[in-house]
């Protein structure tokens, strides 16, 4: 029996789809069977980020309308074993799907896969309730800025209300330089406000842009900082104990100083 994890954020543009594609690929590279479900009906993107846009024939809408079998709608990613995508319909909108229908799909996929990752659309309306309907756990993606954090806080409240637990945090587009000169909120403050467990930090990586355009997730790229961060997060999802490295521009000395002041 697999786990259904919804990847969500509230605010748009913080990296939900990028995180879903990279974590799904990373989990498959670790030998897990993974299905990625795009819940962004009408504004689908996950297929592009994965480079699978030319191979989509059926969508979750066709499965709901009983136009095809669920297994037939899953598009296999040929680069890695065990990774498939269930695309969203581009011509429908979010109100055409009911939360119960999404839950039924997730429940069916759970029985045949280790992980079902649901890529949630931005917002707190129907799209979000569809995406979270079948979820056991949640990953909330946020960037270290006040508006993304406030929206993440709102989403965490809704997830708690829906009794989805645990809720883990991925801090995306983290820039040690900006934190170093005091113009970005540091990780401790983000965790202090949101008060949930930190699953990982993904540093700002301009490679994301080329990766998205080429349809090759960062985790395939050796030496990509973002890719390595997603790989570590995937290992943590599988239960491995991997420490979160300190992204510190100021060097080892300040790390030690911080360590002392935090203890004291």
Partner 1 sequence: MNRPLSGTTVQIDVKGPTLEEDELAYLRSKLKESYNLTVRGIMVSDEPTPEPIAAAPTTHIIPQAVNSSDSRESEPSRIIPYTIRSGQTEDFPQGSLIIYGDVNSGAEVVAGGDIVILGALRGNAHAGMNGRLSSVIIAMDLVPLQLQIGNYLNRLPIDQKSRGYPEIARIGTEDVIIVEKFVKF
Look up residue 189 and give its two tokens.
Answer: 């403050």
- 46, 119 contact by CB (below 8 A): yes
Applying CB under 8 A, the site for partner 1 has a residue count of: 14
- 39, 66 contact by CB (below 8 A): no
Q: How far is the CB of 102 from partner 1 (least distance, A)?
A: 23
The residues in 21-80 that bind partner 1, with binding defined as CB under 8 A, are none
Q: Which of 154, 240, 255, 259 binds partner 1 (CB under 8 A)?
A: 154
The residues in 166-205 that bind partner 1, with binding defined as CB under 8 A, are 192-193, 195
Place of tokens 């990028």: 18
Residue 140 engages partner 1 in binding (rule: CB under 8 A): no
Place of tokens 């000395």: 253
When the beta carbons of 160 and 240 are compared against partner 1, the nearer one is 160
Q: How far is the CB of 158 from partner 1 (least distance, A)?
A: 8
Q: Which of 106, 117, 140, 149 binds partner 1 (CB under 8 A)?
A: 149
Residue 126 engages partner 1 in binding (rule: CB under 8 A): no
CA 74 to the chain's CA centroid: 19
Place of tokens 């896969």: 113
> What contacts 253, CB < 8 A, 6 or more positions away?
none
A 10 A CB-CB count for 101 gives 18
Q: How far is the CB of 76 from partner 1 (least distance, A)?
A: 39
Distance CA 141, CA 172 (A): 7
Residue 151 engages partner 1 in binding (rule: CB under 8 A): yes
Q: Which of 153, 221, 225, 248 binds partner 1 (CB under 8 A)?
A: 153
Q: Is 1 exposed, middle or buried (0-12, 13-18, 19+ CB in 10 A)?
A: exposed
When the beta carbons of 131 and 156 are compared against partner 1, the nearer one is 156
Q: How far is the CB of 82 from partner 1 (least distance, A)?
A: 36
> Can you give the binding site for partner 1, defined by CB under 8 A?
124, 146, 149-151, 153-154, 156-158, 160, 192-193, 195
């Amino acid at each position: 029996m697999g786990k259904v994890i919804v990847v969500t954020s509230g605010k748009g543009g913080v990296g939900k789809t990028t995180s879903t594609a990279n974590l799904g690929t990373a989990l498959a590279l670790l030998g897990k069977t993974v299905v990625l479900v795009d819940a962004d009906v009408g504004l689908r993107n996950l297929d592009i980020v994965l480079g699978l846009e030319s191979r989509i024939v059926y969508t979750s809408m066709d499965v709901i309308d009983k136009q095809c079998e669920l297994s037939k709608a899953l598009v296999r990613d040929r680069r890695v074993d065990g990774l498939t995508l269930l695309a969203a319909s581009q011509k429908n909108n979010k109100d055409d799907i009911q939360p119960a229908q999404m839950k039924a799909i997730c429940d069916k996929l759970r029985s045949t896969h280790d992980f079902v990752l649901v890529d949630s659309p931005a917002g707190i309306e129907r799209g979000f309730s569809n995406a979270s309907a079948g979820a056991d756990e949640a990953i909330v993606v946020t960037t270290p800025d006040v508006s993304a954090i406030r929206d993440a806080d709102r989403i965490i409240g809704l997830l708690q209300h829906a009794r989805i637990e645990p809720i883990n945090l991925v801090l995306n587009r983290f820039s040690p330089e900006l934190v170093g000169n005091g113009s970005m909120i540091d990780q401790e403050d983000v965790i202090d406000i949101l008060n949930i467990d930190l699953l990982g930090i993904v540093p700002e990586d301009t490679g994301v842009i080329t990766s998205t355009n080429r349809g090759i997730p960062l985790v395939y790229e050796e030496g990509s900082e973002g890719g390595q961060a997603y790989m570590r997060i995937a290992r943590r999802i599988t239960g491995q104990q991997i420490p979160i490295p300190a992204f510190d521009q100021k060097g080892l000395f300040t790390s030690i100083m911080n360590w002392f002041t935090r203890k004291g």
